[in-house]
Amino acid sequence: MSLSEWFTQKRNICVKNNIKQSDIQLPENFWIKCNKCSFLMYYKNLNQNFKVCPKCNYHFPTSSQDRIHHIFDLDSWKSLNNNLSSTDPLGFSDKKLYRKRLQDMKMKTGLLDAVQTGIASINNISVACGIMDFRFMGGSMGSVVGEKLTRLIEYATKIKLPLIILCASGGARMQEGMLSLMQMAKISSALYKHSEAGLSYFTILTSPTTGGVTASFAMLGDLIIAEPNALIAFAGRRVIEQTIKEDLPDNFQTSEYLFKHGFIDLIISRIELRDQLYKLLSLYT
């Protein structure tokens, strides 16, 4: 239904039932305002533009399922280890029991944990891919995230596939303590074997990519790619400023700042990501 048709229908309802038009509310998420430039747009138009603002190029948060749809060939995605789910090894609780928090996240997102892994193709080039989802507990890396990524890397090494990991994470999952920190070394070790086999590995850093994820596999790619204006960091800005007793630049911890200082290799818009990945895979393979 077009916008004019929607307003016409609602106006007729108002006239028939003697209701003020001001009392009729727009459907939830019918219109979306850009967080950066305040441009108002129809939500379907935003979705068709890969959730990128057409005016200022602001990249809205998006889900792992949307990224699968945007990047890979239609119906080429084959999930791996999709049955793994976190437990509560420490019996952790803060404002809510960790096991209850996990249940709530599963219901809210439809995912079992903060990463999807699988095999797919980009213009018929097969790749192994892990896609982190910030909606699930801030994309935090717990035992299941580490295990799924490690199994993915080992499988890619075995069948000799290039590897792509899209990172979106607040870091290691505090509710699993040392078990979450162990995943940094486990994933890095698997990546070393993948590299020794002569296979390429690309990381794509989205906003935010922080903490233990940044300190391990996110920065180990043969090519490190980032979305525009993504937040990429290890520690928080305030922590660093208090430690070094200096003020930091306004654009500190953005992908543009890191690109300028040699920490990442490319900045690629989400709209162009599929085509650019195809070109890079063609070159590397």
Q: Domain count of the chain?
A: 1
Look at residue 100 and tell me if it is in a domain. Answer: yes
Q: Does the residue 37 lie in any domain?
A: no
Confirm or deny that 37 is annotated as ligand binding: yes
- In angstroms, the CA 60 to CA 58 distance is 6
Bond prior to 228 in cis (omega within 30° of 0): no
Residue 14 annotated in ligand binding: no
Residue 131 lies in a domain: yes
Residue 21: inside a domain, yes or no? Answer: no
Output the tens digit of pLDDT for each of the chain's 285 residues.
Answer: 545 555 566 566 555 555 554 444 545 557 888 999 999 998 889 999 999 999 999 999 999 999 999 999 999 999 999 999 998 999 999 889 999 999 999 999 999 999 999 999 999 999 999 999 999 999 999 999 999 999 999 999 999 999 999 999 999 999 999 999 999 999 999 999 999 999 999 999 999 999 999 999 999 999 999 999 999 999 999 999 999 999 999 899 999 999 999 999 999 999 999 999 999 999 987
34 labelled ligand-binding: yes
In this structure, what CATH number is given to the domain that contains residue 239?
3.90.226.10
How many helices (H) and strands (E) are present in the chain, helices listed first? 10, 9
Decide: 58 and 85 in contact? Cβ < 8 Å. no
Is 97 among the domain residues?
A: yes
Q: Is residue 177 part of a domain?
A: yes
Residue 206 lies in a domain: yes
Give the range of the structural domain holding residue 216, as residue numbers without chain letter.
Answer: 59-284
Amino acid at 181: L
CA distance to 75, 99, 122, per residue, from 125 (Å): 14, 39, 5
User: Does any domain span residue 53?
Assistant: no
Measured between alpha carbons, how far is 248 from 212 in angstroms, rounded to an integer? 22
Amino acid at 114: A
